[in-house]
Amino acid sequence: MAQKRARLQTIVAERAAWATQLTQVKRLHGWVLEVEHLLDGNWAQEGEVVSNATVGSRLDSWRERMAAQLTDGSLAELEQALAATRARWVRVIG
């Protein structure tokens, strides 16, 4: 009985760790979707011309929000590392 209880406790502990990681993955996926939406131009009103300058301006605003998250302590360590990498990557393509 003690062995089964120990195994169950191990499984519950692993699930808790996975839940944290899953939350981070969902947030990272959200970032990808945000940038995809910025780049695809679907945010524009019907008949509105989507220019590189408009998309660039929106992308710059998004980058500023992400940069603020890097310094406000709201991101986990893994997210901070990925956000810093993402910020460098966006500067390259931006």
Q: What is the 3-state secondary structure (H, E, C) of 41-84?
A: CCCCCCCCCCCHHHHHHHHHHHHHHHHHHHHCCCCCHHHHHHHH
Average pLDDT rounded to a whole number, residues 46-53: 89
Q: Which of 2-6, 8-12, 25-29, 69-73 has the lowest mean pLDDT?
A: 69-73
> Is the pLDDT reported for residue 15 higher than 70?
yes
35 assigned to some structural domain: yes
What backbone torsions phi and psi does residue 48 show, to the nearest 5 degrees?
-75, 135
Structural domain of 86: 28-93
Quick one: pLDDT at residue 6? 92
39 assigned to some structural domain: yes
13 assigned to some structural domain: no
pLDDT cut 90: percent of the chain above it: 27
Quick one: pLDDT at residue 90? 58
19 assigned to some structural domain: no
Q: How many domains, the chain? A: 1
Average pLDDT rounded to a whole number, residues 4-29: 89
Quick one: pLDDT at residue 91? 60
4 assigned to some structural domain: no
1 assigned to some structural domain: no
16 assigned to some structural domain: no
